[in-house]
Amino acid sequence: MVVKVYGSDYANPKRVIMCLIEKEIEFETVFVDGFKGENKKPEYLKLQPFGLLPAIQDGDYTLYESRAICRYYAEKYKNQGTDLLGKTIEERGLVEQWLEVEAHNYHPPLYNLVMNIVISPLLGLPSDPKVIKESEEKLGKVLDIYEERLSKTKYLAGDFFSLADLSHLPFTHYLSQMKKEYLIRERVHVSAWLDDISNRPSWKKVLELSKNPF
């Protein structure tokens, strides 16, 4: 069954697409124009009642929340494509830990930067310089912890690439566009890690597939 991914041009859906490529799962993308409010139309709300992208349809099965979708496919196809969850229960624990760190420590300040610097201007909304400054500082502090971790292991959960690393790419990608790449580049281990994971063929394919210029 070919997996249908709705809203593939946006950042959170890119997490799902990269995961499907790593897991060698066949998929097709369905364009949903968030700027025209297509994600708030009744038809889409049947798939994702909060009106957010992505959602997937796999036969009769529907799922939303990008990280939940990735966990589902990484587990379902554990022995197909790249193993993204670790080989032992201890490795799995660390993958889960860093997935949570991504969602709760890393993502919020980065999301605030993206909203204020990239998205608000596109929507004609004002940006808040105070939020930008505070978020930048917060993200720097989070990245200090990453730098320490990545000075000891090649990837976040250990010496293997996992869902935890993958999950960072879609929003981290905005840093260069926002002229905030220094946050990465001034930390040598974080910098090497980002180069490594963004050079994976799966991420290059995600960018190739995206119609979205940002």
Ligand X SMILES: N[C@@H](CCC(=O)N[C@@H](CS)C(=O)NCC(=O)O)C(=O)O
Q: Which residues bind ligand X (CB under 6 A)?
A: 10-12, 34, 39, 51-54, 65-67
**Rounded Cα distance, 104 and 169, in Å:** 15
Taking the complex as a whole, the smallest distance from the CB of residue 51 to ligand X amounts, in Å, to 6
Backbone angles phi, psi at 25, to 5 degrees: -105, 135
Rounded least distance, CB 183 to ligand X, Å: 20
Between 65 and 181, CB nearer to ligand X: 65
Nearest distance in Å: CB 204, ligand X: 20
State how far the Cα of 173 lies from the Cα of 207, in Å rounded to an integer. Answer: 10
Task: Pick between residue 91 and residue 209 the one whose CB is nearest to ligand X.
Answer: 209
Q: Which is nearer to ligand X, 51 or 81 (CB)?
A: 51
Contact criterion met (CB below 8 Å) for 13 and 53:
yes
55's CB contacts (< 8 A; 6+ apart) are 6, 7, 44, 47, 48, 62, 63, 64
* Least separation in angstroms between CB 28 and ligand X: 18
Specify the residue, 160 or 171, whose C-beta has the smaller distance to ligand X: 171
